[in-house]
Amino acid sequence: MPTEGKGSAGNKSASSSGVRKGRFRTGMDSGFAAFNASISFDKRLFAQDIAGSIAHVKMLGMQRIISAADAREIEKGLREVLAAIEKGGTAFREDLEDVHINIEEALRERIGDVGGKLHTARSRNDQVALDLRLYVRDKSDMVVTDLIRLMGVLTDKAEAIRHIIMPGYTHLQRAQPVRLAHHLMAYFQMFRRDWERFQDARKRADEMPLGSAALAGTTFPIKREIVASLLGFSSVSGNSMDAVSDRDFAVEFIFDASMVMMHLSRLAEELIVWSSSEFGFCTLPDEFCSGSSIMPQKKNPDACELIRGKTGRVYGDLLALLTTLKGLPLAYNKDLQEDKEPLFDAVDTIHGCLAIMAAMFPGIGFHAERMLEAASDRAMAATDVADRLVREGLPFREAHARVGAVMRNKMMGGDANRDDNSLPTPEEMVEARKHTGGTALSSVIDQIKSARSFLSQNTPPDEVDSGKKGRKKKI
C-alpha cells in the first residue's frame, strides 16, 4: 500500500490506458491502481461488452459517423478478440482497470488506431450500464430455467408419492393430516411466484441505455433504436442521467433471488427436520450428505444446511447494493463499481443452490409408514369432530369449546390416542377436503395436472439456453 504524503508519489502505475493521457501529468499510484481496478471481477462481462460494442459500431457505420469500412474492420476485430478470450488466449491486465479498456486495448493491438474509433459517441458510463443490463437479462433467463427444472422435479416427486399421508403442522405442532404431495405442491406455488417475479423484473432490465454517454447524451447523430434492435431490447432509456445511474434492475434481481433463497431455505429446513431421527420421515441421498470426523454413525444433511446458510449471503448482497445506492447524487459515481460483486455473488449462489436442490430431490426416500403413524395421532381429528357437531346444528364456537374440553380431559387422562371408532381415519380426513386447493387425492391430482400444464406451456431449458425464443438477436 502507498505511504502517506509525498513518499507515495514515486510509486506510480505504468498504465498504458488512454483514459489518463492528456489530463494527467503522472501515472496512477500503484496502490491506488490496484484499489481502483475492477478487472478481477468485471471480466466476466466480456461477452456482453463485446456484444454491445459490435452493435454500437454497426450503428456508427450505418449512421456514417465512421466509415463503413472502419466499422467492418472493428467488428471483425471484436469477433477475433471474443474468440481469443473464449479460447483462453487473452490475458486481462490489471493496469487497464476494467473489462472495457482491456477489450478496447486488445482490439487496438489487432487492428491498430482504427480501433480507437469504437468509443465514438459513448462513455464507459453508458457502456457499463448496457453490459450490466445484458448480463441481468441473460441471468434472469438462466434462473427462470433453473426454476422450471426444480418445479418439474417437485411435480414428478409429488405424483410418485401422492398416496402418502403425513401430519400437517402449524407452530411445528401436529395439526391435521395432509397428503405429502399436497405439501410438496405448496413449494411448487412458491417457486412459480418466483418464476413470475423474474419474468416481470426482466422487463425492467430490458431497456437499452447506450447513447446516454457520460450523462448528457452525445452530439453525434446516433440512432439508439438500431442498437436496441440488434441487442433485442424492447425499448431505449428515456433519460440519459437516469440511464447511467440506474441500478434498480440489479437490486430487483437480487431481491427476487433473495425470495428464491428464502423458499429454498424453508424447503431445506423441512428436509433437515424430516430426516432427523426424531421425525424419521425421509432419508436424504448419500451423495448430498457428509459424515462426522469423530462419530462414525453420523449422516449429516450438508447440502440442505448449506442452502439454508447461503440464504443469508444473498440477503447480504441485497443490503450491500441498496446501501451503495442510497446516497448517490446523479449521475454516475465510482461507488457504482460496487454493484457488480453483490450481483455476481447472488447469481452464482442462487444458480448453485437451485441446481443442488433439483439434483438431490429425486433421490429423497420418503417413509410412508412412519408418516402415516404420525398422522394417526387421534388428537388430529379434533377439527373434523367439531365440523361434525356443526353439521348436527351446533354453532361452531360451541362445538370448538366442547371438543376442546374433551381433548383436554383425554390428555390429562393420558389416553388422547385411545382407539375410538367414532373418529375419522387420516385417509377420511384428507379425502373430506375435496375443494380446489384441498388435500383430497382428486384435488392434489388437479394441482399436479395444473403444474404439468404450466410446465408444458413454458420454454424448455434447451430453447432458453440457445436463445430460440427470439429474445435476443445474434449480432
Residue spans of the domains in the chain: they are 29-120, 125-215+238-372+455-466
CA distance 193 to 151: 11
Q: Is 56 an annotated catalytic residue?
A: no
pLDDT confidence of residue 163: 97
pLDDT confidence of residue 258: 98
CA distance 220 to 211: 9
Catalytic residue among 276, 290, 292, 442: 292
CA distance 21 to 35: 20
Write down the pTM of the prediction.
0.90
CA 30 to chain centre: 37
- Which grid coordinates belong to 156? 414428478
Q: Is 263 an annotated catalytic residue?
A: no
pLDDT confidence of residue 472: 46
- Which grid coordinates belong to 449? 395436472
CA distances from 73 to 17, 133, 344 (A): 22, 26, 33
* CATH fold for domain 29-120: Fumarase C; Chain B, domain 1 (1.10.275)
pLDDT confidence of residue 463: 44
- Give 71-90 as a DSSP string: HHHHHHHHHHHHHHHHTT--
- Which grid coordinates belong to 46? 466480456
Phi-psi region of 5 (alpha: psi -120 to 50; beta: other; left: phi over 0): left
Query: 392 exposed, middle or buried (CB, 10 Å; 0-12, 13-18, 19+)?
Result: exposed
pLDDT confidence of residue 13: 45
pLDDT confidence of residue 374: 97
Residues in the chain: 475
* CATH fold for domain 125-215+238-372+455-466: Fumarase C; Chain A, domain 2 (1.20.200)
* Helix/strand/coil for 209: coil
Pairing of strands 207-208, 235-236: parallel
pLDDT confidence of residue 3: 40
Mean pLDDT by 10 residues, the chain (475 residues): 40 51 80 91 97 98 98 98 92 93 96 97 97 98 96 98 97 96 98 98 97 98 98 98 98 98 98 97 97 91 98 98 97 96 98 98 98 95 88 90 83 57 90 96 98 88 46 51
Q: Are 319 and 342 in contact (CB under 8 A)?
A: no
Grid-cell match 448528457, residue found = 216
- Which grid coordinates belong to 59? 450503428
Looking at residue 174, the DSSP 8-state letter turns out to be: E
